[in-house]
Amino acid sequence: MGAYRVILLVTLGVYLLLKGIGFVYGVALPSSVVSMYVFFTFLVTVLIISVTDKGALSLTTPIIEFLYKEEKKKLRKVVFVVLPFVLAFIAYAFTKPSYEEPFTLRVVHPAPPRIVNAYDRNIELEKIKNPIRELTGDAYEEAVHDGGEIYFKNCFFCHGAKLDGKGHFAKGLNPAPLPFTGKDTIAQLEESYVFWRVVKGGEGLPEESAPWMSVMPVWEESLKEEEVWKVVTFIYEYTGNEPRRWEK
């Protein structure tokens, strides 16, 4: 099989596989990721083929023959006439105005400030501890239960009954509400970070990567500090996640 046929088949195969995974799973893989994967597959296939002298020749010979062989003269003329049009079309496709809103590389976890002014005092985020974690037995269970009530009275409309970020209002919001399920959101964060996000909401997001456009309310205005800690503890308990910690 010719080297170029192998490259085409492998690259196309990987492309179809990635599309197939998205189709079977029900949520397509992002096109940016698919194109990165496909490009890399192409590159690695070329490298594998070109390792041997024979393989390298099988890659270069068709190009040299196409450029210099007399028999390829007609094909050369066609390609060199068509190629500028193809490139022009690609350039046009890239530069034509689009009605789609521009995408942004949003920073989902902005760096927290060292000190947050909340509840009329300065709170050092790296030092603050969740007081609910100091409770034991029934007192702890009760606090988590209270946290659940606070959640369903305030948070569930956006973050959802299953804490998966799919509440009633979720479809209308961009950025979408964060899911707490899975191992890649709150499980990655220290509790003080989650506390900061709840207390200061969308308005309190730092300037880094602004504008944020988050509609997360500033809960400091309607929840007491203890209530915020209760709801923070609840979302970890309910999803079976542990907050990020440096030591036990």
Partner 1 sequence: MGMTTLRIKKILFPLLFTAFLMPLLCSTAFASEGGVFTPRLWVWLFAQLHLYFAAFILSVPVFVLILELTGVIRKDKRFDRVAREFLAISVVTHIVTVILGVIFAAVVFSLYSNLSGYMYKAFSPTVKLYAAIIIIDIALLYLYYLLWSRLGSGRGKLLHLGIGLLLNLSGIAIMFIANAWTTFMMAPTGVDASGVVVDLWQAINNPLWHPMNLHRFVANIAFGGAIVAAYAAYRFLSAAREEERARYDWMGYIAAVVSILALLPLPFAGYWLTSEIYSYSQQMGITLMGGVFGWMFIAQAAVIGTLFLGANYYLWCGFERAKGGAVYRPYVKYIAIVLALCFLVWFTPHTPHLSSLELKEIGGRFHPLLAPLGLMPAKNIAVNIMILATFVSFLLFRRAVRSSSVSWAAIGKTIQAGILSAAVLNIIFLGVYYGYFADSVYKITSSIPQVLTTLFALISCSVIEFFIYRGGESVEHKWGGASERSQYALIVLAVSFTWLMGLMGFIRSAIRQHWHVYTVVRDVSADAFTPTISYAAKVVSIITLIFLAIIIVIFRISHLRRAGEDR
Q: According to the binding rule CB under 8 A, does residue 4 interact with partner 1?
A: no
C-beta of 52: minimal distance to partner 1 in Å? 7
Rounding to the nearest 10 degrees, give the CA dihedral for residues 63, 67, 73, 75: 40
Residue of the chain from 128, 135, 176, 218 that contacts partner 1 (CB under 8 A): 176
Candidates 109-117, 135-143, 150-158, 214-222; binding stretch for partner 1 (CB under 8 A): 109-117
C-beta of 238: minimal distance to partner 1 in Å? 17
C-beta of 135: minimal distance to partner 1 in Å? 19
Q: According to the binding rule CB under 8 A, does residue 218 interact with partner 1?
A: no
Q: Which of 193, 187, 215, 214 is nearest to 109 (CA)?
A: 193
Q: According to the binding rule CB under 8 A, does residue 244 interact with partner 1?
A: yes
Q: According to the binding rule CB under 8 A, does residue 52 interact with partner 1?
A: yes
Residue of the chain from 144, 151, 158, 165 that contacts partner 1 (CB under 8 A): 165
C-beta of 127: minimal distance to partner 1 in Å? 11
Q: Which of 12, 7, 77 is nearest to 44 (CA)?
A: 7
C-beta of 32: minimal distance to partner 1 in Å? 4
Three-state secondary structure readout of 214-243: CCCCCHHHCCCHHHHHHHHHHHHHHHCCCC
Whether omega for the bond prior to residue 211 falls within 30 degrees of 0, making it cis, is yes
Q: According to the binding rule CB under 8 A, does residue 36 interact with partner 1?
A: yes
Candidates 75-83, 112-120, 133-141, 211-219; binding stretch for partner 1 (CB under 8 A): 112-120
Candidates 20-28, 71-79, 148-156, 214-222; binding stretch for partner 1 (CB under 8 A): 20-28
Partners of 121 in the beta sheet? 118
C-beta of 242: minimal distance to partner 1 in Å? 5
Residue of the chain from 62, 175, 201, 217 that contacts partner 1 (CB under 8 A): 175
The Cα angle at residue 220 between residues 120 and 206, in degrees rounded to 5: 90
Other C-beta atoms lying within 10 Å of the C-beta of residue 3: 20
Other C-beta atoms lying within 10 Å of the C-beta of residue 20: 11
Local structure of residue 104 (DSSP, 8 states): -
